[in-house]
Chain A
Amino acid sequence: MIDYLREIISGTWSLFVGLGITIRYFFQPVVTVQYPYQTLPMTPRFRGHIELVKDEETGETKCIVCGMCQKACPSNCITVNGEKREGVKGKVLTEYTLDFTKCSLCGLCVESCTPSAITFSKDYNLAGVTKEAYIFDLKKRLEAKN
């Protein structure tokens, strides 16, 4: 009987302790970020979808069309094509397509690229209604930025 009463009292007390904690936190500043009105800065290492890097000297892509990224990708989302041109050493990039619908953002492609011709973008606000919207033509994107 005594134990029973003691349990009721200590049990009720434990509820008040819990309530006290929630009330204390109620008066503390809000930690939630009100997205989309406020956004947080992305960390430098954030892995978004990949993007071609511009060569500062030539303004063109650094890609040498070696195909390593295409081979490294576990999900086969990269298609690279190039052609030989008169008077240019090596191949010239004609197509760089990323099928973002399959990409797992693993980063193996960026690691495998010896001339560092690709990097991660910081895009995370991606939404669309068609699948085609996610087949990115990275060459066009690079040219559009120029």
Chain B
Amino acid sequence: MSAFAESEAKETFVLNLGPQHPATHGVLRVKLTMDGEYIAEAEPVLGYIHRMHEKMGENRTWAQFLPNTGRMDYLHALAYNHGYVSVVERAAGIEVPERAEYLRVITAELNRVSSHLLWFGAFILDLGGFSPLLYAFDDREHILDLLESVTGSRLTYCYFRFGGVYNDIDDNFVPGTRAFIKRLRERMPMYHNLVTKNIILMKRLQEVGPISAEMCRKYGATGPVCRGSGINFDVRKHEPYSVYPEFDFDVPVYDQCDSMARYMVRMDEIEQSLRIIEQALDKLPEGPVMAEKVPKILKPAKGDYYHAVETARGSFGVRVVSDGTNTPYRLKLRSPTFSNLSLFGEASQGMLLPDALALMGSLDLVIPEIDR
């Protein structure tokens, strides 16, 4: 591959990418040792937005941590809500009504689509194309409006509660979501014509930024990153939670291992999420959205509990250790992007700087979630 440096590095210099750099989406700093235009070594430096979410969780009651979950991965907040409420429900033995689980799945999948749309826009922006961002935001706006009318907020949602959801949906939600699904399905071919088939994009992504399945396993990469390397792993399918087993959907897997494969995985996932939402709307049962008899002051039984969910970026796991009091004894959050970023150093070695930025964009990094 011509994108790799041929000779040994003789004279290198250090280049700081970030912490304030548009391509690092937030406050990630990457210390690059450059050999001309080629990267000799890349070292991500973290900690600029560390907020001690784990420690905060250990200093407040179980319910008071709920708003924090939406502030880690602000692009797929509902999946984080879902992970945390599920683990606490498991610990406290709370049964969730079926309608609430359906609503959780519908809203979390809508949120996943909005996250992928934003990634799509921002990724193309990283590569130098501005207008696709505007198209993606136009569609994303519809999702935000739908979610705002049920959850009350547009980005950092805090909609799930132990035992159900905060509010039932309004009359507008089901027809509005159906109309949106139809609209997005009609727009997807436009996205492919505008972006996917564009020769410049293909030249910049195909065979650029190879991440082997081996490397994914080594660093624990999950989500679209590992599915773009031929590993068929999706928590929704392989460790099913909530009501996901009741839906028929595929896990898109590409084995080209390049940035294009990761791009295609996400684009296909949008369609799969729409399928899940459609089926869930068809089957949506009537009933309460909140379990009865959830104690106001929660004191889960002593023990160690873990629950993982599939977020837009991979597998998010929460481990809680309860000592039987009203605050968690230990709260451990396993976030997907931390592992996905860790492989950047090895994967970008010897790459041209612009290609490495394309690789970084294809990892879909959300920095507050890495630092927590």
Q: State the A residues within 8 Å of B (CB).
A: 7, 10-12, 14-15, 17-18, 21-22, 25, 31, 43-47, 72-74, 104-108, 111-112, 120
User: A14 contacts which chain B residues (CB < 8 A)?
Assistant: 197-199
User: A15 contacts which chain B residues (CB < 8 A)?
Assistant: 198-200
Task: Please report the C-alpha to C-alpha distance between residue A120 and residue B138 in the assembled complex, in whole angstroms.
Answer: 28
Q: Is the CB of A17 within 8 A of B60?
A: no
Q: Which of B118-165 contact A (CB under 8 A)?
A: 131, 135, 138, 145, 148-153, 156, 158
Q: Which of B209-225 contact A (CB under 8 A)?
A: none
Closest Cβ neighbor of B203 among chain A residues: A11
Task: Please report the C-alpha to C-alpha distance between residue A71 and residue B68 in the assembled complex, in whole angstroms.
Answer: 17
Knowing A72-B64, A74-B67 touch, does A105 contact B153 (C-beta < 8 A)? yes
Q: Total A-B residue pairs with C-beta atoms closer than 8 Å?
A: 66
Q: Is the CB of B193 within 8 A of A46?
A: no
Q: Is the interface of B mostly helix, strand, loop or mixed?
A: helix
User: A108 contacts which chain B residues (CB < 8 A)?
Assistant: 63-64, 66-67
Would you call B272 an interface residue if the criterion is a C-beta within 8 Å of the partner chain's C-beta atoms? no
Task: Please report the C-alpha to C-alpha distance between residue A21 and residue B187 in the assembled complex, in whole angstroms.
Answer: 11
Closest Cβ neighbor of B296 among chain A residues: A112
Q: Is the CB of B152 within 8 A of A21?
A: no
| Number of B residues with CB within 8 Å of any CB on chain A | 32
Ordered nearest first, which 8 A-B pairs have the shortest CB separation? Answer: A11-B199, A106-B67, A74-B64, A45-B152, A47-B152, A43-B149, A21-B194, A14-B199
Would you call B344 an interface residue if the criterion is a C-beta within 8 Å of the partner chain's C-beta atoms? no
A-B contact pairs, 7 of them (CB 8 A): A14-B199, A17-B197, A43-B149, A43-B152, A45-B151, A72-B64, A74-B65
User: B194 contacts which chain A residues (CB < 8 A)?
Assistant: 17-18, 21-22
Query: Separation in Å of the A19 CB from the closest CB of chain B?
Result: 9
Closest Cβ neighbor of B191 among chain A residues: A21
Would you call B45 an interface residue if the criterion is a C-beta within 8 Å of the partner chain's C-beta atoms? no
Would you call B329 an interface residue if the criterion is a C-beta within 8 Å of the partner chain's C-beta atoms? no
Task: Please report the C-alpha to C-alpha distance between residue A17 and residue B158 in the assembled complex, in whole angstroms.
Answer: 42
Task: Please report the C-alpha to C-alpha distance between residue A38 and residue B195 in the assembled complex, in whole angstroms.
Answer: 32
Knowing A74-B65, A108-B66 touch, does A46 contact B199 (C-beta < 8 A)? no
Would you call B305 an interface residue if the criterion is a C-beta within 8 Å of the partner chain's C-beta atoms? no
Q: Is the CB of B148 within 8 A of A72?
A: no
Closest Cβ neighbor of A42 among chain B residues: B148
Closest Cβ neighbor of B64 among chain A residues: A74
Q: Is the CB of B65 within 8 A of A107?
A: no
Task: Please report the C-alpha to C-alpha distance between residue A25 and residue B138 in the assembled complex, in whole angstroms.
Answer: 12
Query: Separation in Å of the A143 CB from the closest CB of chain B?
Result: 27
Q: Is the CB of A74 within 8 A of B60?
A: yes
Q: Which of B43-73 contact A (CB under 8 A)?
A: 60, 63-68, 71
Query: Separation in Å of the B150 CB from the closest CB of chain A?
Result: 7
